[in-house]
Amino acid sequence: MTFRRTAWAAGTALVTGLGLAVAPAAHAAPTGTTSLAEVLASDGDTFDRNWYDYDILDQAVAAVLAAKPDSPVAVLADGTVPLTAFLPNDRAFQWLALDLDRRWYRSEEQVLTAIATKVGIDAVEQVLLYHVVPGATIDSATALASDGAALTTAQGGTFTVDVLSKKRAIVRLKDKDRNDFDPFLVRSKLDINEGNAQIAHGITAVLRPLDL
């Protein structure tokens, strides 16, 4: 997938003005500065037929930055800014498109087009920001020890960590849409970009900041 480097570069300078604070850590903070944008751009792909990677997320961010170069989603391109991102895979967006449009789209590009057409680019931006927790590098071990914690997102809303099984690493994220399934962390996609200030975890559904 390709987080288009030109789009990211256009927004990177904005990061210093976001006022994101680093939360106190109980242990030494990660020192790496590789950004999540770099990590997610590393495979060089775009839309494909693998529904369990992050191409739609990639292209959604690029679309937001193309339409709104000043968008705060550009924070993902500055690896010096600590944050935790929760990444819905392509299948998660496919289910979201079905919910919004009552159609089962069979290509990733169709999914993104349908979502953007239905809700608009501003809403796409807000949903993306709802997946970013600024100011803290939350690894999976911390998440498993945080049952009941309410996380404040870059969108301004909150969602809650619900640890169903610490032993089996089963964690649900409870968002603001009570009518749809909440996402779970994907155990094989935890601690993406570990050792750096920006870390990510794969999730099974799109977090919703309101009832979509």
In a domain, 145, yes or no: yes
- In this prediction, residue 212 carries a pLDDT of 65
Number of domains in the chain: 1
Are 71 and 125 contacting, i.e. CB atoms less than 8 angstroms apart?
Answer: yes
pLDDT surpassing 50 at residue 110: yes
pLDDT surpassing 60 at residue 9: no
Mean pLDDT in residue range 152-164? 97
Mean pLDDT in residue range 31-40? 90
Neighbouring residues of 146: CB distance < 8 A, sequence distance ≥ 6:
138, 161, 163
In a domain, 82, yes or no: yes
In a domain, 209, yes or no: no
**Burial of residue 123 (number of CB atoms within 10 Å: 0-12, 13-18, 19+):** middle
Q: The domain containing residue 63 runs over which residues?
A: 5-203
Q: What is the CATH classification number for the domain harbouring 41? A: 2.30.180.10
- In this prediction, residue 7 carries a pLDDT of 41
pLDDT surpassing 50 at residue 26: no
Are 207 and 175 contacting, i.e. CB atoms less than 8 angstroms apart?
Answer: yes
pLDDT surpassing 90 at residue 170: yes
In a domain, 38, yes or no: yes
- In this prediction, residue 131 carries a pLDDT of 98
pLDDT surpassing 60 at residue 31: yes
Mean pLDDT in residue range 197-204? 98
What's the whole-number average pLDDT of the chain?
Answer: 87
Quote the pTM value: 0.86
